Structure 1
Amino acid sequence: MKILIINGPNLNLLGSREPSIYGTMELHDLVNSIKKYGDRLGIQVQHIQSNSEGCLIDAIHNSVGLYDGIVLNAGAYSHYSYALRDAIAGINVPVIEVHITNIYNREDFRNVSVISPVCIGQISGLGIDGYKLALQYFFDHKDNEHC
């Protein structure tokens, strides 16, 4: 099983960007932790991070035939990018939306995710464990047509 982790804008600043909200773990440590967890499950984990909407869309398009699922933290793009929404809707690779913080307990503009309706699920507010929970879901449902 191969899963692609996609992190969007500003996630490259993890550890230094608003640590009281996002924590002190840096992105490379987050990725290493997710990959180790994937190894334990027998899942090959690949990761990309981009601050560019187009690069994220390209990664989603290019996942077809290569990955069994995507774990996507689209950052602020989650709240307004219909282009990302359309990219997800246009592929047959299941996507789980992940947010480190609870988007429903933050500013009003963060309370809506335009990509949620085209994802198979959303994990919000559980910190970096959200990524691991998404991997666990894909592992547990690897034989399910829904995934």
Structure 2
Amino acid sequence: MFTSVSEFIGEYRMESNATQKLLDVLTDESLQRQVGEGYRTLGQLAWHLVHDDSGMLQRIGLKFQAPPASAEPPQSAVAIAQAYRTTAASLLEAAAGWSDGRLLENNDMFGQQWSNAYTLYAFLKHEIHHRGQLTVLMRQAGLPVAGMYGPSKQEWETMGIPAPTK
């Protein structure tokens, strides 16, 4: 959990940059890829990262520019990547206007009382969770995957080092 707004900003900046690396690799053709019937497509999942669909951050008073959750995902991978870039920058700007004291405030979240610090933490973990799903679909679509917390298989190979198999 975060104890200062600057701590959240630093973490979100790092994590959103990692997400952006993945979104920038998507192709229009890959957006229709899905793991199975009844699951989100790669495009729907990518678009899910662009907006605050549950309103978590809006509910705690963090106002930033993002497409509405009801908006249909664009059919353009470039448009999704650009929308994420704009949303992430707007979120960072809004967070910079907060004081550390705002982190201690509690709000109703899914029928529970969450501190704003915990809500920011949960929001970040939510993005990381879906980013993991995104990488699986990207691999299935034959797209290169950037390493998040270390090199990916392709990045090891580019460095001329065999990727660890165990």
Structure 1 length normalisation: TM-score? Answer: 0.29
Of structures 1 and 2, the larger Rg is shown by: 2
Higher relative contact order (CA 8 A, sep 6+): 2
Which is richer in strand?
1
Structure 2 length normalisation: TM-score? Answer: 0.27
Which is richer in helix?
2
